[in-house]
Copies of this chain bind each other. A is one copy, B any other.
Amino acid sequence: MKGDQDLYTLQPIASLTMADQVEAQLHEYIIKRAIRPGDAIPKEQELADALGVSRNVVREALSRLRMLGLIDSKKKRGMILTRPDVMKGLERILHPAILDEQVRKQLFELRLVLEVGLGDLIFARKTEVHLKKLDAIVERERKATTQIEKIRCELDFHSTLYEMAGNDTLKRFQTILLPVFEYVVEYESKLQHTSVGSVTHADLVKILYSNNAEEFPNAMRKHLSPHFQHL
């Protein structure tokens, strides 16, 4: 058709609801004014009046910010800004069942990337206690008879690595991603027998006992190599 090119100039109609706009404005308000956690923000009715919308709309916008952990509200105290919880939004969405197949795959790749790169944080912060814990898991895995027990050890081992990294945000991220991983692992196991990588958990622990951070990334790459094959 002739007019097709012209169509590109058309932008998707904004069609933002009032609540959307109010949310955006409040967000900007918070950021621009550099409001510190603990500070109070205007009352709902004041905001409604100032913005020229109904309190209802303001509440919808505030409800979203509250969900994100940006604000907290008490009955009479009004609303105060809180330290936003970075991972809160992710928690609600990252449920394997409602994720696109492709996104699931991408999140799984993200996990591989994280674990390969995790080395330096671990080496910087590992303690004897951590290493002993890994030893125990490896030992438990060696004795494990059932498949379920082995999988549990697998999860424990890698979770402990994230713990050792001493980065709460990262650890939390991993926890949120866990169900996605399980989902993908199950899918992979149907695809082919997940051969164990040439580097075992025991090998990884040995490297961690040494102080040779250089070896870690490639060791982990080899450990995860069965998964990398699916790229």
Look across to chain B and name the residue whose beta carbon is closest to the beta carbon of A59: B60
State the number of copies, please. 2
Contact A113 B121 (CB under 8 A): yes
Interface residues of A in 14-71 (CB under 8 A from B): 19, 23, 27, 30-31, 34-35, 56, 59-61, 63-64, 67-70
A26 to chain B, nearest CB (A): 11
By the criterion CB–CB under 8 Å, are B170 and A110 in contact? Answer: yes
**Could you say which residues of chain B place their CB within 8 Å of the CB of A70?**
92-93, 98
A86-B94 CB under 8 A given contacts A117-B118, A218-B214: yes
Tell me how many residues of A have a C-beta within 8 Å of chain B.
63
- Contact stretch, chosen from A99-107, A137-145, A147-155: A99-107
Beta-carbon contact of A120 and B63 below 8 Å:
no
A116-137 vs B: 1/0 string, CB under 8 Å?
1111110011000000000000
Within 8 Å of chain B (Cβ to Cβ): is A202? no
- Docked-complex contact A34 and B97, CB < 8 angstroms: yes
Assuming the A-B contacts A114-B114, A118-B113, are A106 and B56 also in contact, with contact meaning beta carbons closer than 8 angstroms in the complex? no
Contacts A31-B98, A56-B56, A231-B124 given; indicate if A169 touches B106 (C-beta within 8 A).
yes
**Complex Cα gap A113–B170 (Å):** 10
Q: Is A223 an interface residue (CB 8 A)?
A: no
Q: What are the residues of chain B within 8 A of A158 when measuring CB–CB?
A: none
Is A89 an interface residue when CB atoms closer than 8 A count as contact?
yes
Say whether B169 contacts A103, CB under 8 Å. Answer: yes
Contacting residues, chain B, for A34 (C-beta < 8 A): 97
Closest to A27 in B: B92
Whether A120 lies near B31 (C-beta < 8 A) is: no
A112 at the interface (CB under 8 A from B): yes
Q: Does chain B have a CB within 8 A of A206?
A: no
Task: Tell me if B97 and A86 are in contact (CB < 8 A).
Answer: no
- What residues of chain A have their CB less than 8 Å away from a CB belonging to chain B? 19, 23, 27, 30-31, 34-35, 56, 59-61, 63-64, 67-70, 81, 83-86, 88-90, 92-95, 97-100, 103, 106-107, 109-110, 112-121, 124-125, 165, 167-170, 173, 213-214, 217-218, 221, 228, 231
The 9 closest A-B pairs by CB, nearest first: A89-B89, A117-B117, A217-B217, A116-B117, A106-B169, A113-B117, A60-B63, A124-B231, A84-B93
